[in-house]
Amino acid sequence: MKITIENLQLRYGKFTAIDNMNLEIGDHESVVLLGKSGCGKTSTMRCIAGLEEPTAGRITIGDTVVFDAEAGINIPPHRRNVGMVFQSYAVWPHMTVFENVAYSLKVQGLGKAETANRVHEALELVGLEDFASRGASLLSGGQMQRVALARSLVMRPDVLLLDEPLSNLDARLRDRLRIELREIQLQLGLTTVYVTHDQQEAFALADRIALMQNGVIVQMNSPSAMYLEPASAQIAHFLGVSNVHPVTAGASGTYTVTDTDLTLASAGLEPVGAGELHACFRSEDIRLSSTGAPGANSWRGTVRVSSFQGSTIRYAVEVASGMPDLDILAPLSAAERFQPGDSVWVTMDAGAVQILPQDAPLIQERAGVAA
Ligand SMILES: Nc1ncnc2c1ncn2[C@@H]1O[C@H](COP(=O)(O)OP(=O)(O)O)[C@@H](O)[C@H]1O
Ligand SMILES: [Mg+2]
């Protein structure tokens, strides 16, 4: 079911946690709210669920206006048909898995047979069909989150809200549950809003990512477009681009790294937005060689650190005094390997270099790369 958020504002006293947010989530769509801790993700969720009363704006779920500050509409949480799963394991330890999942149906007064059917259906979806009679206190963290998810799904919500549901789990389990969650979301065609600060999780689960900073959505895109075309140097850095350096624009699409004589060429889009320009390039897009010639995107450097990471080797290379070392990721299969102290040439394609403003202009959708 479609969710429309218009001009949403939420203040805690004088502090503005959500600032004039506009967001439309399509029917069956999975939107991930991604951003650093404190940027307003949970607050947004709580407004959709009805657990928080916004100071301004309107929220519509399907055809129902569930909140409208001006019209004085505020439908309580239990009448919004919204399911929620939180970071903490919200299961009742003294009940069995079955009882946990059946609880809300019982409150609704659903018959025994129908309840059993729906509980088993939900447990099957989350892979806990063999655990119905187990005491909830005997479950692992991952299983508890499955119970929490089943408890939401059994209510057949129009909308599912998930707030960092995997962040208390260990990395391997997180990876697996992430894929299972995506499968369930697609299988049921559920409209979901998923909150996380982890970009890998966002990439894996989203149809579209809404990237938040300081209570504002600064970029909204498909995962691949977000990865390929971050709107600002800050966003690029947040999304794992490890080489971000201030530059000064020179003649016809060339740039100089500030306070150095290193020159850059970029085949990216013309930068738009406010603030100092930065060159952003990914560690895996830089090549190292023992031979080379000076020029744009071809610099001389000295290896300072070389660390073996399995399928890759990570190098820290100094290219100019006073400039942070470049972060370079070379495949283990690269023709040459280098040691600290080695003199090297660093090169990259113009297509790998993005020139971006420090701050994002408030563009909700950037044209360009499609999913
Ligand atoms: N009940 C509250 N009272 C005052 N400030 C709050 C309250 N809840 C959250 N905040 C503040 O609002 C901001 C956004 O919080 P939150 O939505 O929880 O962020 P996130 O989920 O992105 O980490 C934070 O700066 C937080 O400290
Ligand atoms: Mg939060």
Over range 359-369, report the average pLDDT: 49
Q: Assess whether 186 and 277 both reside in one domain.
A: no
Band of pLDDT at residue 349, cut at 50, 70 and 90: very high
Residues 46 and 113 in one domain: yes
User: Does the residue 362 lie in any domain?
Assistant: no
Same domain membership, residue 352 and residue 305: yes
Percent of the chain residues topping a pLDDT of 70: 96
Report pLDDT for 267.
Answer: 87
Is residue 306 situated within a structural domain?
yes
Q: In ligand 1, which atom is closest to the CA atom of 39?
A: 22
Pocket (CB within 6 angstroms of ligand 1): 12, 15, 17, 35, 37-43
Residue 98 lies in a domain: yes
Does residue 269 sit in the same domain as residue 349?
yes
pLDDT-derived band at 362 (thresholds 50, 70, 90) equals low
Q: Which of 160, 194, 228 marks a domain boundary?
A: 228
Torsional sign, CA 85, 86, 87, 92: negative
Same-domain check for residues 158 and 59: yes
| Closest to 255 in 3D by CA, of 366, 355, 365 | 355
**pLDDT at res. 253:** 74
* Residue 249 belongs to some domain of the structure: yes
My answer on whether 259 and 190 are in the same domain is: no
Ligand 2 centroid, distance to 4 Cα (angstroms): 21
- Here the CATH number for the domain that contains residue 333 is 2.40.50.100
Q: What pLDDT sits at residue 324?
A: 96
Q: Express each pLDDT in 233-271 by its tens digit.
A: 999 999 999 999 999 988 777 899 999 999 999 987 777
Q: What is the mean pLDDT of residues 37-55?
A: 96
pLDDT at 283: 97
Q: Which atom of ligand 1 is nearest to the CA of 164?
A: 21
d(CA 109, CA 118): 13
113 inside domain: yes
Q: Both 306 and 328 in a single domain? A: yes
> Could you tell me if residue 288 is inside a domain?
yes
Instruction: Supply 256's token pair.
Output: 């100089």
Distance 39 CA to ligand 2 centre (A): 8
Confidence of residue 361 (pLDDT cuts 50, 70, 90): low
Q: Which atom of ligand 1 is nearest to 46's Cα?
A: 17
Q: Are residues 281 and 304 in the same domain?
A: yes
DSSP type of residue 50: T
One domain, residues 45 and 96: yes
Q: Are residues 55 and 167 in the same domain?
A: yes
* In-domain check, residue 85: yes
Q: Which ligand has an atom closest to residue 35 CA?
A: 1
User: The pTM is what?
Assistant: 0.89
Question: 333 is in which domain, residue-wise?
Answer: 233-357
How many domains, the chain? Answer: 2
pLDDT digit string, tens, across residues 73-117: 999 999 999 999 988 777 899 999 999 999 989 988 999 999 999
Evaluate whether residue 274 is within a structural domain.
yes
Q: Could you tell me the pLDDT band of residue 120, with boundaries at 50, 70 and 90?
A: very high
Band (pLDDT 50/70/90 cuts) for residue 368 is: very low
What is the Cα–Cα distance from 167 to 185, expressed in whole angstroms? 19
Q: What is the CATH number of the domain that holds 140?
A: 3.40.50.300
In 3-state terms, what secondary structure has residue 173?
A: helix
- Contact partners, residue 201, CB within 8 Å, separation at least 6: 32, 166, 174, 178, 194
Atom 24 of ligand 1, residue of closest alpha carbon: 38
Ligand 1 mean position to 362 CA, how many Å? Answer: 22
The pLDDT of residue 274 is: 64
- What is the overall mean pLDDT for the chain? 92
Q: What is the DSSP string of 184-247?
A: HHHHHT-EEEEEES-HHHHHHH-SEEEEEETTEEEEEE-HHHHHH--SSHHHHHHTT--EEEEE
* The pLDDT of residue 65 is above 80: yes
Asked which of 200, 228, 256 is the last residue of a domain, the reply is 228
185 and 153 in a common domain: yes
Residue 210 tokens, joined: 């809404």
In contact, 219 and 367? CB cutoff 8 Å:
no
- Token couple for 218: 């600064």
